[in-house]
């Protein structure tokens, strides 16, 4: 943290002191391996307010946890995740979306104006979360971008249903997958193009969109302008940015990003959505997000006054089944109390929650949160280890000092 941000954090701490709450300066690298400390600083990309830099080329920046205390993540503080380093500035007038593949009857192209005007607009609130969110907390350490808690965001997306766009092209019998490509490219010719694919049933889901707006504004450049895939409930690897080509296929997409990357060991996670045409003997593509939660207004080391009201706030989310309950523990998980769920913005959205407590005496609180979804899945106490560091939904634990 630079001097300016340290002073800003300090000013916020003084403002909270009168309420009996003292927040420590934010440690953006807390809990991460020593080799990542140099990247855990706040920096601003063009058009963005400061985010936590994990890498510059390609740009990978995460949202500070305190921003999730508001259920909708602001565009200017929304995390940034790219795989390839060359990201063009795409002009709206020049952008074209090509619809084709061996399983369509009538290939065609769309302009941005046609995408916005020729199809019924759909708006929904959904969490976009990198598959490797919290990877930096893996123990033992695993390679990859060393994300903390903030490689995610929750936004109101507006766009056209992918199924409506495909219907205009006419889908042939035997269509198996829908693959799609973006305008970004690698620094070297041999870098695999970032092409992703969806099973036909997910591509035709009413909630799968080609989005052109985010929180009531055009998509930011760093979040995929002028149009991107929105695949609610599934991890962000499928939410391809700057989409320029969609192909309906009669055979599985076999490029690097489907056959080798973003795969998890079979049977490790309680997943319902399966991508059968891409499954192998030992592993399967990552698909839906697992149930998870985050405390957003407190940090380890926060000091609170005995006898003063303490509000514990946070968000919970999952793969689109909906959050059934959130429980809070003050003693490291020995006992649990029900938190109160706040407004439901839709099953793909963050669900805000809060719990009120007045600590009666000095000492320490071992604060934890645990979300359960409507399918009965609950967060884990211990990491479900996998080599890529995906699906980290270990219950968060914070140590709070009562003074």
> pLDDT 10s digit of each residue in the chain, 403 long?
333 333 333 333 323 333 333 334 344 444 555 445 445 689 989 999 999 999 999 999 999 999 999 999 999 999 999 999 999 999 999 999 999 999 999 999 999 999 999 999 999 999 999 999 999 999 999 999 999 999 999 999 999 999 999 999 999 999 999 999 999 999 888 899 999 999 999 999 999 999 999 999 999 999 999 999 999 999 999 999 999 999 999 999 999 999 999 999 999 998 899 999 999 999 999 999 999 999 999 999 999 999 999 999 999 999 999 999 999 999 999 999 999 999 999 999 999 999 999 999 999 999 999 999 999 999 999 999 999 999 999 999 999 999 9
* pLDDT for position 40: 65
* pLDDT for position 188: 87
Taking every pair of Cα atoms in the chain, the longest distance, rounded to a whole number of angstroms, is: 72
Please check whether residue 86 lies inside any domain of the structure. Answer: no
Question: Which residues span the domain enclosing 206?
Answer: 96-285
Q: Give yes or no: residues 391 and 250 share one domain.
A: no
Question: Contact at 8 Å (CB) between 392 and 134?
Answer: yes
Please check whether residue 346 lies inside any domain of the structure. Answer: yes
Closest CA to 150 of 176, 129, 180: 129
Please check whether residue 158 lies inside any domain of the structure. Answer: yes
Closest CA to 76 of 41, 98, 39, 46: 46
* pLDDT for position 33: 53
What is the pTM (predicted TM-score) of this model? 0.90
Domain boundary among 262, 285, 308: 285
Q: Give yes or no: residues 303 and 269 share one domain.
A: no
Question: Contact at 8 Å (CB) between 234 and 289?
Answer: yes
Q: Give yes or no: residues 68 and 121 share one domain.
A: no
- Which CATH number is 197's domain given? 3.90.420.10
Please check whether residue 229 lies inside any domain of the structure. Answer: yes
Domain boundary among 224, 254, 285: 285
Mean pLDDT of the chain: 91
Q: How many residues does the chain have?
A: 403
Please check whether residue 65 lies inside any domain of the structure. Answer: yes
* pLDDT for position 25: 37
């Amino acid at each position: 943290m630079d001097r300016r941000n340290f002073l800003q954090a300090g000013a916020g701490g003084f403002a909270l002191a009168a309420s009996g709450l003292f927040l420590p300066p934010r440690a953006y690298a807390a809990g991460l391996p020593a080799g990542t400390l140099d990247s855990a600083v706040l920096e601003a990309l063009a058009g963005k307010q400061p985010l936590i830099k994990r890498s510059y080329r390609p740009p990978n920046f995460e949202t500070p946890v305190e921003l999730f205390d508001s259920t909708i993540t602001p565009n200017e503080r929304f995390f940034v995740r790219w795989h390839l380093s060359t990201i063009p500035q795409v002009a709206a007038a020049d952008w074209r979306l090509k619809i084709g593949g061996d399983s369509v009857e009538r290939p065609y192209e769309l302009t941005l104006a046609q995408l916005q005007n020729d199809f019924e607009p759909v708006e929904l609130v959904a969490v976009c979360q990198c598959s490797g969110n919290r990877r930096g907390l893996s123990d033992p350490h695993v390679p990859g971008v060393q994300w903390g808690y903030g490689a995610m965001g929750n936004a109101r997306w507006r766009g056209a249903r992918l199924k409506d766009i495909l219907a205009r092209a006419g889908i042939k019998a035997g269509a198996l997958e829908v693959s799609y490509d973006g305008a970004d490219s690698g620094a070297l010719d041999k870098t695999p193009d970032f092409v992703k694919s969806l099973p036909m049933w997910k591509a035709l889901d009413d909630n799968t969109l080609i989005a052109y707006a985010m929180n009531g504004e055009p998509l930011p450049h760093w979040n995929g302008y002028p149009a991107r895939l929105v695949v609610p409930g599934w991890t962000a690897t499928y939410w391809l940015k700057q989409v320029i080509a969609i192909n309906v296929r009669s055979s599985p997409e076999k490029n690097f990003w489907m056959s080798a990357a973003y795969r998890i060991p079979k049977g490790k996670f309680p997943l319902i959505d399966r991508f059968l045409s891409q499954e192998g003997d030992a592993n399967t593509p990552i698909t839906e997000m697992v149930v998870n939660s985050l405390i957003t207004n407190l940090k380890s080391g926060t000091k609170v006054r005995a006898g003063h009201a303490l509000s514990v706030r946070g968000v919970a989310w999952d793969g689109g089944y909906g959050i059934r309950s959130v429980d809070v523990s003050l003693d490291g998980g020995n006992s649990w109390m029900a938190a109160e769920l706040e407004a439901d913005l839709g099953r793909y959205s963050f669900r805000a929650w809060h719990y009120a407590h007045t600590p009666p005496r000095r000492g320490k609180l071992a604060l934890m949160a645990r979300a359960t979804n409507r399918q009965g899945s609950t967060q884990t106490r211990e990491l479900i280890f996998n080599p890529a560091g995906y699906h980290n939904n270990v219950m968060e634990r914070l140590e709070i000092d009562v003074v």
